[in-house]
Amino acid sequence: MTEKTEAIVWETDLPLFSRRMLGQWSLAMAITAVVLCVIMGTVFAAQGEWDALLPMLAMATGAAGGLWLLGLIIMAVLFRGKFRVRYRLSDKELRYETIDTKAKAANRLAIVAGVLARSPQTLGAGLIARSQETMAVRWTGAFRAVYDPARHHITLRNEWRPLLWVQCTPENYAEVAAAVERNMARKKTAQRVGGRSPLPAYLGRTVLVVLGTLPLFGLAEEYNTGLFMPIFILCFGLATVWMINLFGYVVLAGLLVQAGLVAADMLRLRQSYFFKGETYYGYEVLGTEDFQFLLVAGLGAGILIWLSLAAVRGKWLSALLAGYQDMG
């Protein structure tokens, strides 16, 4: 029977203007710009508005740059370049907790502001920040440790991204590093880390979501069903790949609604432009090009259905959930 060791508990300030934190903030804003470009670029490309792509790219870059600068100002003015956190390292896990009252209040204000302003971006950012106020990695997970004695911090990461940063103090770094190494060796944590990065697979699924959605925009324009559903399907398709598998059900529901809208338009009674007083249904005048277009849209929908079913059945995990799984 192994003897339990006493947990190590400490509090420290995370420096918001460190190279690590600034790098992560810049990366987050770059990802925001890329996501916006993918969504808006898909919409413009599907409508053949190629001349709008460069202005859209400039707009997305400018918006992300503005958010980046606003974040720096908030870090400097509101948080004064740091916020307080607590760590607890035991034989079972390493737990991180935000104890800074300003940070907690800001997260809750973001959620309230998102609801009141009906802003999904603000609400989503607040909910994500709220969910990360407390995080833990268990030694039964799959990650390796990268030690940085000069800066007194340890990075726990899986095949392709950091899972948790551990900021130690100059006084306890050696003790914490030894405890991390001991617990990981005891549970063989690093040996469970895969050899290949899953990032290419996620990028490939992202491309498939975009390709599968493109024909839906043309379908919506052809049958006057509006662009809301294709954009809705695109956003939740991307969220299925990167955030939560269960969003696949939302994609399937969106495809069903889109198909229903198209069918309703085909069954709508129309007045003939050529023969006064005569009427016809939309499906009665479908030609070869129409059937070819419907076939292409069906293939796109088939790609989305295949990806969504694989996601909800657990054939693969979203990037976010895979990270949580690696955290044990």
Q: Do residue 190 and residue 169 come from a single domain? A: yes
Comparison of pLDDT for 135 and 252, the residue scoring more = 252
- Closest by CA position to 211, among listed 233, 181, 180: 233
Residue at token pair 């052809």:
222
Cα 72–78–84 angle (5° rounding)?
95
Task: Encode pLDDT of 10-48 as tens digits.
Answer: 999 888 888 888 887 787 778 778 877 887 888 777 777
Domain, as residue range, for 124 = 1-12+83-195
Task: Encode pLDDT of 94-125 as tens digits.
Answer: 999 888 776 666 666 666 666 665 555 555 55
Instruction: Using alpha carbons, list the distances in angstroms from residue 277 to 87, 269, 274, 285, 309.
Output: 78, 12, 9, 17, 47
CATH code at 157? 2.30.29
Q: Is 195 helix (H, G, I), strand (E, B) or coil?
A: coil
Q: Do residue 2 and residue 122 come from a single domain? A: yes
Comparison of pLDDT for 212 and 22, the residue scoring more = 212
Please enumerate in sequence order all residues whose Cβ is within 8 A of that of 258, keeping only pairs 6 or more positions apart, or say none: 216, 219, 220, 225, 229, 230, 233, 301
Cα 93–318–70 angle (5° rounding)?
80
Residue at token pair 């896990």:
93
Q: Flag whether pLDDT at 301 surpasses 70.
A: yes
> CA-CA distance, 328 to 325, in Å (whole number)?
5
Q: Single out the residue in 195, 215, 237 at which a domain terminates.
A: 195
Q: Do residue 7 and residue 122 come from a single domain? A: yes
Q: Do residue 183 and residue 230 come from a single domain? A: no
Q: Is 167 helix (H, G, I), strand (E, B) or coil?
A: strand
Q: Do residue 137 and residue 187 come from a single domain? A: yes
Please enumerate in sequence order all residues whose Cβ is within 8 A of that of 106, keeping only pairs 6 or more positions apart, or say none: 74, 78, 129
Q: Do residue 70 and residue 159 come from a single domain? A: no
> CA-CA distance, 97 to 260, in Å (whole number)?
47
> What's the confidence (pLDDT) of residue 41?
81
What mean pLDDT is predicted for residues 288-304? 86
Q: Single out the residue in 195, 215, 235 at which a domain terminates.
A: 195
Q: Do residue 6 and residue 26 come from a single domain? A: no
Q: Flag whether pLDDT at 186 surpasses 70.
A: yes
Q: Do residue 144 and residue 5 come from a single domain? A: yes
Give the global pTM.
0.79
Q: Do residue 122 and residue 40 come from a single domain? A: no
Using CB atoms within 10 A of its CB, is residue 188 exposed (0-12), middle (13-18) or buried (19+)? exposed
Q: Do residue 148 and residue 292 come from a single domain? A: no
* Residue 154 structure tokens: 């340890």
What mean pLDDT is predicted for residues 208-215? 93
Q: Single out the residue in 142, 162, 195 at which a domain terminates.
A: 195
* Domains of the chain: total: 3
Using CB atoms within 10 A of its CB, is residue 11 exposed (0-12), middle (13-18) or buried (19+)? exposed
HSE toward the beta carbon, residue 192, CA cutoff 13 A: 17
Assess contact for 167 and 120: CB atoms under 8 A. Answer: no
Q: Do residue 54 and residue 111 come from a single domain? A: no
Q: Do residue 249 and residue 102 come from a single domain? A: no
Q: Flag whether pLDDT at 280 surpasses 60.
A: no
Q: Is 85 helix (H, G, I), strand (E, B) or coil?
A: strand
The pLDDT-based confidence of 189 (bands split at 50, 70, 90) is very high
Instruction: Using alpha carbons, list the distances in angstroms from residue 16 to 7, 22, 89.
Output: 27, 7, 23
> What's the confidence (pLDDT) of residue 1?
43
Q: Is 227 helix (H, G, I), strand (E, B) or coil?
A: coil
Phi, psi of 19 (to 5 degrees): -60, -40
Comparison of pLDDT for 30 and 149, the residue scoring more = 149
Angle between helices 120-131 and 101-116 (to 10 degrees): 150
Count CB-CB contacts under 10 A for residue 89.
21
What share of the chain has pLDDT > 70, as a percent?
84
> CA-CA distance, 75 to 170, in Å (whole number)?
24
